[in-house]
Amino acid sequence: MYQKYFGSKTWEYDVINEIPGEEAGFKTVAISAKENYAYGFLKHEAGVHRLVRQSPFNADKLRQTSFASVEVLPELTDVDLPDIEIKDADIEWLKTHGYK
C-alpha cells in the first residue's frame, strides 16, 4: 500500500526488512522513504489500520478483518547534542512519597 503511494509521489524508498507471514502476506515490513519532509507527510499514518474484505482463502466467502500496526519514525542524522557537565546537573534523591 505504501509502496504504491511512494510510487505515485515519485518518492525514492528502500525496503529495509521483510518478514513473510505464516500463511500469506507479510508479518513485518520496514520501509525507509528517501524524501525531504516525508515524516511530515506520513506522521498521521501512525496507528492501527483495519481492513475488512472477503478473504480469497475462505471457501465460505465470509468477511475477514485484518489489522496492521503502522509506526512512523523520523530518521535523525548527525544530531549535535550539547555537552552537559556534572556541575550543571541538579540531582535530587526522593522517597516514594516525594518527601526530601
Domain chopping of the chain, boundaries: 2-74
Phi, psi of 73 (to 5 degrees): -125, 140
Class of domain 2-74: alpha beta
Residue entry with cell 547534542: 81
Query: H or E element: which one contains 2?
Result: helix 2-8
Q: Hey, what amino acid is at 21?
A: G
Query: H or E element: which one contains 39?
Result: helix 38-42
The Cα–Cα gap between 34 and 10 comes to: 10
Quickly state the pLDDT bin for 48 (edges 50, 70, 90). Answer: very high
Mean pLDDT along residues 50-70: 83
Q: Does the structure show a pLDDT above 80 at 100?
A: no
Please state the pTM of the whole predicted model.
Answer: 0.58
